[in-house]
Amino acid sequence: MAVAYLLVGLTGAGKTTYARRVLEPAGAVRLSVDEQVFARHGHYGVDYPEDTYFAREAPVVAEVRAELVRLLRAGHDVVVDHGLWRRSERDDWAALVRSAGGQVRLLYFPVPRAELLRRLTARNAEKHGNALTVTPQALDDFIARFDEPDGEGEQVVQPARWPYSASSSSHLP
C-alpha cells in the first residue's frame, strides 16, 4: 500500500529539508504547495499583496490534492510538504489519502519559537525559492493559528535525529 507522508509543522520547522534529505531519496514523490505558489506568483507581500495569498493558493492546493490521489492510486509513496496547521485540514487530507487507497503517516516537526525565528531570519535573507518572507509578527500569528497534533497518530520528528541518506531510510519514523 502506498504511503502518504503528511508533514505537520510551522514555517521553518524543517519539513522541506526532511522531505528532500530523507523521504525523496527513499523514493517518495514530494508535492509542495508553497513552491508551486512561488513559481506562479513570486514572493508573498512582495510580488503580490498579502491579502491575495489564499486566493492564489487555493487552485494550487486543489491541483496538489488531485496529484496526490493520482500518485497514490499508481502505487507511489508521496510527501505532502504543506504545513497542515489545523487539525481539520489534517483530517481532510488523511481522509483523501485513505479514499485513494493510501496509508497515512503523520509526521510532526515541533520546533520552539526562538529556533523557528533563527531559521526564518536566515531563510528570509536568501530570498530564493520561498514564497513567504516571515517576520516575527507573522510567526506569532502562525503560532496562534497552529493546532499542535495530539492523539492523531502523529510521529514526532526531531531534526537532530534525522537520518541523512537513503541508505538509512529503514530508520524513517
CA dist 107 and 17 (Å) reads: 13
Q: Is residue 116 in some structural domain?
A: yes
Between helix 136-144 and helix 113-126 the angle, nearest 10°, is: 130
CA distance 64 to 23: 18
Q: Is residue 171 part of a domain?
A: no
Residue 11 lies in a domain: yes
Q: Determine, yes or no, domain membership for 167.
A: no
The pLDDT profile of the chain, 173 residues, written as one tens digit per residue, is: 999 999 999 888 889 889 999 999 999 999 999 889 889 988 777 788 878 888 998 999 999 999 999 999 999 999 999 989 999 999 999 999 999 999 999 999 998 888 888 887 877 777 554 556 677 888 888 889 999 999 999 999 986 554 443 434 434 55
Nearest one of 33, 9, 4, 19 to 108, comparing CA atoms: 9
Compute the CA torsion angle 10, 16, 18, 23 (nearest 10 deg). Answer: 130
Q: Is residue 166 part of a domain?
A: no
**Residues spanned by the domain of 147:** 3-160
Domain count, the chain: 1
Asked if residue 165 belongs to a domain, the reply is no
Residue 172 lies in a domain: no
Residues paired with residue 72 on neighbouring β-strands, in sequence order? none
Asked, for residue 173, whether it belongs to a domain, the answer is: no
CATH number for 34: 3.40.50.300
103 vs 97: CA distance, rounded Å: 7
Question: What is the separation, in whole angstroms, between the first and last Cα of the chain?
Answer: 17
